[in-house]
């Protein structure tokens, strides 16, 4: 199966930003995929956060309104990007 | 440490006396001396192995703790372990620690310490209450890893005889981990009587003190003999024979008294002249009813439902709540059960309930305010579950953090809508459930006569009433001298509230820490309070106190106390009365 890398811009739209609870959910979500999944700030593409690390997500300190680049690299990247961007679109279900 | 006896004043956080040898636990922020934290090139692999070993041991300890304690802990307490396991496996944290070892040739201890401090520093720069909690979790979990790396002093599972744990601080999970069969009690440098560790210590019946001076902590070594007096708030290092003997006699007498009181659970809690004060229990899980019943509690005076809402990222739905309330009501049979609606905020931040962070949560949207004006969805779900469960017993609903009649009017309107809805859906519900207001703010106490028009009962929550009346942060040790429920200001508010309730013909109960103190309970009885609600463990003591006096004496005490001008005078008068009629309860 071919490897693929997919990116998509997502926006943190809930009031509290990407705080502890959604970060923990993201870690669990990302751990279900084989693809490497990262979130980065467009202005700082060289320091992406690893979606499987809660600390790394929290350190992003993404407040409400922050735009992030979601990227996944691996065979199940499309599904991963779909599920995670959906989670962002739903305001982290808050 | 020198063999000379030292007797220092500390803060009592959990009653009882413990005498024994010291087990010293020191936490990571001081355990590592950076000067000694460097290793040579050829030690790197061994150091990484040691780190992995410690991580592995920690993971196993956490998993086994979680499974053995699983049933004893509330969802919130159990959630602590989930968060810890997640952090323990965190890739970024582990990569950072390994980087310190590989690239900077740090010892495993030093590397763990540096990474921990780094992330805590990052967290503390972000104003999110959830993150502050994670910072505490991170400290807790890495302290555990550290303990596994340095077997020397932190060999907690191998305590060969019962010891007194001396620590700079204990986290909730460390407190829970203290094995009662091996630990006699503990003394810590920081932590107040209302901190989580203190609450757990009291529920585990371990004597404990805090405010241990740093010089003493620094000099104490494992195997030094100490006495902790969790009543008078004293710590005695290397006691002389006479002091030790005196404390042994006292401890033995206390143990005997507890046994004796345990056999009085059937006796009626009334004064010698027949004034009856019902003693109910405070609980925070339906499963705790059995313990309340064992000590002869007259039902439940306060069921704190917020613990159900503290599981991270998961809020209890109507069915889950309905089952829980129903289970409790069935267990209680015809005895009354007072359930408090969701009371989060201030010191009890439930993640997932708050929609916005607050700078000053104690004065913010908490309790009924949050339920009415921000999370009406949660409030509606909870009220539906309560009214449905109400058919299974004698349910009373109590509203926390009331400060205006408008809030009660709006709650009544919401209840009316909910009941109409339930009727339309053909769902069975009780329409006889009583509705009460908690009196926790000076505002509520001052307008008690108006509030009494809208509710069926009052329950005075003294912990918050003291905090808001005296304008003190309960967790701030520097103003703890003002933290007393027997202050004349607080007593006068309580008196006013009781007078209003009597005039309007509604009952008053008291459910704060004040009700659990035998001497203060005499004051409350003297003011005519007919129901006190407290932790089950306190019921036998308060029963004995009430049974030992005449109502007349208690009324005299109240009269003198209300005229008192010195802040500590009512407490002294109440202690003196208790000393006269039930000396065995003083200093227990």
**Residue labelled with tokens 């691996």:** A74
pLDDT at B421: 97
What is the SS3 assignment for A66? coil
Condensed to tens digits (0 to 9), the pLDDT of residues B297-345 reads 999 999 989 878 866 567 889 999 999 999 999 999 999 999 999 998 6
Distance of CA A60 to the CA centre of its chain: 11
Sort out which chain B residues have CB atoms less than 8 A from A15's CB and list them: 355-356
Count of residues making up chain B: 588
Name the closest residue on chain A to residue B314, using Cα atoms: A21
For residues B416 and B311, give the distance between their C-alpha atoms in angstroms, rounded to a whole number. Answer: 30
- Tens digits of per-residue pLDDT, B493-541? 999 999 999 999 999 999 988 998 899 999 999 999 999 999 887 899 9
Give the strand pairing for B225-229 and B234-237.
antiparallel
The 10s digit of each residue's pLDDT in B13-40 is 788 899 988 887 755 443 334 345 678 8
Q: How far is CA B522 from CA B164, B184, B516, B566, in A?
A: 34, 31, 11, 19
Higher pLDDT, B352 or B243: B243
Q: Which of A21, A50, A59 sits opposite B313 (nearest CB)?
A: A21
Segment A30-89, tens digit of pLDDT: 989 999 999 999 888 888 899 988 888 888 878 888 899 999 999 999 999 999 999 999
Q: What digits encode the pLDDT tens for the residues B360-384?
A: 778 888 899 999 998 899 999 999 9
- What residues of B act catalytically? 196, 511
Domains of chain B: 6-26+36-245 (1.10.274.10), 264-585 (3.20.20.60)
Place of tokens 């926006």: A11
Q: Which of A15, A19, A53 sits opposite B130 (nearest CB)?
A: A19
Structure letter (DSSP) for residue B585: G
For residue A82, what are the domain limits? Answer: 5-93
Q: Quick one: angle between helices B44-69 and B129-149, nearest 10? A: 120
Q: What is the pLDDT of residues B101-126, one digit of tens each?
A: 999 888 888 888 888 888 888 777 76
Residue B351 has its nearest CB partner, among A21, A50, A59, at A21
- Number of folded domains that form chain A: 1
- Best of A55, A60, A63 to disrupt the B interface by mutation (most B CBs within 10 Å)? A55
Q: How many Å apart are CA A94 and CA A92, to the nearest integer?
A: 5
The whole-angstrom distance between A42's CA and the closest CA on chain B is: 20
Which residues in chain B have their CB less than 8 angstroms from residue A50's CB? 91-92
Interface residues from chain A to B (CB-CB < 8 Å): 15-17, 19-21, 24-25, 27, 50, 52-56, 58-59, 61, 94
> In the prediction, which pLDDT does B151 show?
55
Does B421 or A27 have the greater pLDDT score? B421
**Calpha distance B507→B323 (Å, rounded):** 29
The CATH number that applies at residue A30 is 3.30.1340.10
The full 3-state SS of B251-306, as one line of letters, equals HHHHHHHHHHHHCCCCCCCECCCCCECEEEEEECCHHHHHHHHHCCCCCEEEEEHH
For B143-158, give the secondary structure using H, E and C: HHHHHHHCHHHHCHHH
d(CA B352, CA B364): 17
Q: How close B188 gets to chain A, by Cα (Å)?
A: 30
Enter the ipTM.
0.73
Smallest CA-to-CA distance from B446 within B488, B489, B417 is with B489
């Amino acid at each position: 199966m071919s490897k693929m890398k997919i990116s998509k811009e997502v926006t943190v739209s809930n009031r509290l930003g990407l705080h502890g609870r959604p970060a923990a959910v993201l870690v669990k979500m990302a751990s279900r995929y084989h693809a490497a999944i990262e979130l980065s700030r467009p202005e700082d593409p060289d320091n992406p956060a690893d979606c499987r690390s809660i600390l790394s997500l929290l350190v992003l300190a993404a407040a409400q309104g922050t735009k992030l680049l979601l990227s996944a690299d691996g065979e199940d990247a499309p599904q991963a990007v779909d599920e995670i961007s959906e989670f962002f679109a739903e305001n982290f279900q808050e | 440490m020198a063999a000379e006896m030292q007797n220092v004043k500390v803060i009592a956080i959990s009653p009882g006396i413990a005498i024994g040898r010291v087990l010293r636990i020191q936490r990571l922020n001081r355990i590592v001396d950076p000067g000694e934290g460097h290793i040579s090139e050829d030690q790197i692999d061994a150091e990484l192995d040691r780190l992995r070993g410690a991580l592995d041991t920690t993971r196993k300890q956490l998993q086994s703790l979680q499974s053995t304690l699983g049933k004893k802990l509330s969802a919130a307490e159990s959630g602590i372990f989930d968060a810890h396991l997640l952090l323990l496996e965190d890739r970024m944290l582990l990569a950072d620690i390994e980087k310190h070892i590989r690239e900077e040739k740090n010892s495993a201890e030093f590397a763990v310490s540096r990474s921990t401090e780094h992330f805590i520093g990052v967290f503390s720069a972000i104003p999110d209450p959830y993150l502050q909690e994670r910072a505490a979790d991170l400290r807790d979990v890495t302290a555990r890893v550290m303990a596994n790396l340095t077997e020397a002093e932190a060999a907690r599972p191998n305590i060969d005889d019962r010891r007194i744990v001396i620590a700079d601080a204990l986290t909730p999970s460390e407190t829970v981990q203290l094995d009662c069969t091996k630990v006699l009690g503990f003394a810590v440098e920081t932590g107040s009587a209302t901190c989580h560790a203190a609450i757990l210590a009291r529920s585990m019946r371990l004597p404990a003190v805090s405010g241990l001076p740093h010089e003493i902590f620094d000099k104490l070594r494992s195997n030094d003999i100490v006495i902790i007096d969790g009543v008078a708030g004293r710590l005695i290092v290397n006691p002389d024979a006479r002091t030790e003997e005196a404390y042994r006699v006292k401890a033995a007498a206390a143990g005997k008294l507890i046994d004796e009181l345990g056999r009085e659970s059937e006796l009626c809690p009334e004064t010698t002249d027949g004034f009856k004060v019902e003693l109910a229990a405070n609980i925070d899980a339906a499963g705790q009813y059995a313990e309340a019943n064992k000590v002869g509690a007259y039902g439940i005076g306060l069921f704190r439902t917020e613990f159900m809402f503290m599981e991270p990222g998961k809020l209890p739905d109507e069915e889950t709540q309905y089952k829980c309330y129903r289970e409790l009501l069935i267990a209680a049979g015809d005895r009354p059960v007072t359930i408090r609606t969701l009371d989060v905020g201030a010191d009890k931040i439930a993640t997932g309930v708050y929609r916005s962070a607050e700078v000053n949560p104690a004065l913010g949207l908490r309790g009924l305010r949050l339920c009415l004006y921000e999370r009406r969805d949660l409030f509606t779900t909870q009220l539906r579950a309560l009214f449905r469960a109400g058919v299974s017993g004698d349910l009373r609903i109590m509203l926390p953090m009331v400060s205006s009649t408008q809030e009660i009017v709006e709650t009544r309107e919401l209840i009316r809508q909910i009941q109409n809805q339930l009727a339309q859906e053909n769902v069975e519900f009780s329409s006889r459930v009583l509705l009460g207001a908690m009196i926790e703010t000076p505002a509520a106490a001052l307008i008690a006569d108006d509030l009494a028009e809208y509710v069926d009962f009052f329950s005075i929550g003294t912990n918050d009433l003291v905090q808001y009346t005296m304008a003190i942060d309960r967790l701030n040790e520097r103003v703890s001298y003002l933290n007393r429920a027997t202050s004349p200001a607080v007593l006068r508010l309580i008196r006013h509230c009781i007078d209003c309730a009597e005039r309007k013909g509604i009952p008053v109960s008291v459910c704060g820490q004040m009700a659990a103190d035998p001497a203060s309970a005499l004051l409350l009885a003297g003011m005519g309070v007919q129901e006190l609600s407290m932790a089950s463990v306190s019921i036998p003591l308060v029963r004995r106190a009430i049974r030992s006096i005449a109502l007349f004496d208690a009324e005299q005490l109240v009269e003198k106390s209300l005229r008192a001008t010195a802040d500590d005078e009512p407490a002294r008068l109440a202690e003196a009365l208790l000393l006269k009629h039930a000396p065995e309860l003083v200093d227990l």
